[in-house]
């Protein structure tokens, strides 16, 4: 066995737990916000592009957490995409307004996912 995977695993491990937690929190927050706040508020909260983005963000966050927990060697790819989608969700939620919890969760998730994406195995 080569030392490279072990070294990469140690570097990745530094961010593993915080990333799984941030992804799980973002998944829960986006899904809950979409299904409660947005459905109740209506109007621009239910515009197809915004609502779809929130659901997509929740799903990629759950997928990222699953890839990390399974030890997938592809986690850095998924985390990179997750960060990109979280950034888009932040922008959309800020434009719609009144979605501070979702903005916070997406920002935190994007930040740590970018770190994980940089720790390629």
pLDDT in tens, 100-121: 999 999 999 999 999 999 865 4
Non-local (6+) Cβ contacts of 13 within 8 A are: none
**What are the residue boundaries of the structural domains of the chain, listed by start?**
3-118
Fold of 3-118: Substrate Binding Domain Of Dnak; Chain:A; Domain 2 (1.20.1270)
pTM of the full structure: 0.87
Non-local CB neighbours of 11 within 8 Å, separated by 6+ positions: 119
Measured distance CA(26)–CA(56) in Å, rounded: 11
Each residue's pLDDT tens digit, 10-53:
445 788 999 999 999 999 999 999 999 999 999 999 999 999 99
Alpha-carbon distance of 7 to 45, in angstroms, equals: 45
Radius of gyration of the chain (CA): 15
Backbone angles phi, psi at 110, to 5 degrees: -60, -40
Query: Is residue 63 pLDDT above 60, yes or no?
Result: yes
The span from the CA of 39 to the CA of 71, in Å, is 36
């Amino acid at each position: 066995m080569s030392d490279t995977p072990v070294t990469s695993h140690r570097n990745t491990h530094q961010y593993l737990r915080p990333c799984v937690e941030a992804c799980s929190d973002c998944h829960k927050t986006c899904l809950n916000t979409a299904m409660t706040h947005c459905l109740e508020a209506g109007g621009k909260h239910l515009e197809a592009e915004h609502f779809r983005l929130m659901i997509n963000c929740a799903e990629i966050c759950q997928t990222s957490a699953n890839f990390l927990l399974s030890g997938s060697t592809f986690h850095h790819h998924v985390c990179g995409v997750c960060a990109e989608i979280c950034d888009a969700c932040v922008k959309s939620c800020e434009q719609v307004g009144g979605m501070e919890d979702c903005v916070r969760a997406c920002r935190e998730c994007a930040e740590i996912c970018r770190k994980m994406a940089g720790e390629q195995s």
